[in-house]
């Protein structure tokens, strides 16, 4: 069985500060991992994905994530938060695409 | 434009009145799936389909039906909706090897059952 755990349902950062959203996974096979972003009143948009090619994955809008097998983690980071990053972020593990419960990112001035 | 189209975007209905939410994709994807999104629970899979005439239950299938008669369409049917099915629903599709390609999501259908 596969699962993901997202630590922190709400994260608040100041504009310009580091963004760190945590995701830990459980999988009986080598995982394929995804981060999706959901802006208010919109669907899910793929932010980035890990498919075993490289452990550091770069995505859209300046986000990146690092796959750490020893820690079973796939945390999402961005060096400098922008107001437009305020959204809900979901980590997911494939093949059936199982989602975490989401982290709502708030960015303050 | 490659997309997954859901209709309607918003729906308010009464308990017990059958309804169908349509989903269509124009990418020739083999795999299609329905999710519901609820606060604090993330997205949970309702049903999925690996190809035409091949469907299977996800994690929360009770109270829902699906069909896959054509490759592009995957409607979600609520035969007798109840208030606990009030939720935000998403349809998604991908190529067979979804692990490499990822999934494309529709814009969502917000359903309220009163």
- Taking only the tens place, the pLDDT of each residue in B24-73 is 999 999 999 999 999 989 999 999 999 999 999 999 999 999 999 999 99
Which CB contacts under 8 angstroms, 24+ apart, belong to A48-56?
A48/A76, A49/B102, A50/A74, A51/B99, A51/B100
**Which contiguous run of DSSP H or E holds residue A91?**
strand A87-94
- Cα gap A22→A7, rounded to integer Å: 6
Residue A99 phi/psi, 5° resolution? -100, 155
Find the mean pLDDT for residues A64-87: 96
Contact A90, A35 (CB under 8 A): yes
Q: What angle do CA A35, A92, B88 make, to 5 degrees?
A: 95
Sorting pLDDT into bands at 50, 70 and 90, what band is B114? very high
Burial of B54 (0-12, 13-18, 19+ CB in 10 A): exposed
Which candidate in B94, B98, B99, B108 is best for mutational testing of the A interface (most A CBs within 10 A)? Answer: B99
Contact B34, B85 (CB under 8 A): no
Size of interface A-B (CB pairs under 8 A): 48
Q: Which of A32, A44, A102 sits opposite B105 (nearest CB)?
A: A44
Token pair in block for residue B22: 């349509």
- Spell out which residues of chain B touch residue A45, defining contact as CB-CB under 8 Å: 105
Residues A5-64 have pLDDT tens digits of 999 999 999 999 999 999 999 988 888 999 999 998 888 999 999 988 789 999 999 999
CB atoms within 10 A of CB B10: 9
Q: Which of A51, A97, A100 sits opposite B103 (nearest CB)?
A: A97
**Which contiguous run of DSSP H or E holds residue B98?**
helix B98-101
Q: Which residue of A has its CA nearest to B97?
A: A95
């Amino acid at each position: 069985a596969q699962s993901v755990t997202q630590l922190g349902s709400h994260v608040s950062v100041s504009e310009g500060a580091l963004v760190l959203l945590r995701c830990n996974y459980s999988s009986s096979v080598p995982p394929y991992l995804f981060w999706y972003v959901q802006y208010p009143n919109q669907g899910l948009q793929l932010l980035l994905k890990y498919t075993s090619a490289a452990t550091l994955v770069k995505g859209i809008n300046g986000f990146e994530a690092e796959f750490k097998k020893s820690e079973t983690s796939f945390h999402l980071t961005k060096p400098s938060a922008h107001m437009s990053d305020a959204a809900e972020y979901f980590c997911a593990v494939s093949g059936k695409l199982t989602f975490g419960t989401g982290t709502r990112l708030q960015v303050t001035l | 434009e490659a997309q997954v189209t859901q209709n309607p975007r918003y729906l308010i209905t009464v308990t017990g009145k059958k309804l169908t939410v349509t989903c269509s994709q124009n990418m020739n994807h083999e795999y299609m799936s329905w999710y519901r999104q609820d606060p604090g629970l993330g997205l949970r899979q309702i049903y999925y389909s690996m190809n035409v005439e091949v469907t299977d239950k996800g994690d929360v299938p009770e109270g829902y039906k699906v069909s896959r008669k054509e490759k592009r369409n995957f409607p979600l049917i609520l035969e007798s909706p109840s208030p606990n099915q009030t939720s935000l629903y998403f349809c998604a599709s991908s190529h067979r090897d979804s692990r490499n390609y990822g999934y494309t999501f529709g814009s969502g259908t917000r359903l309220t059952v009163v």
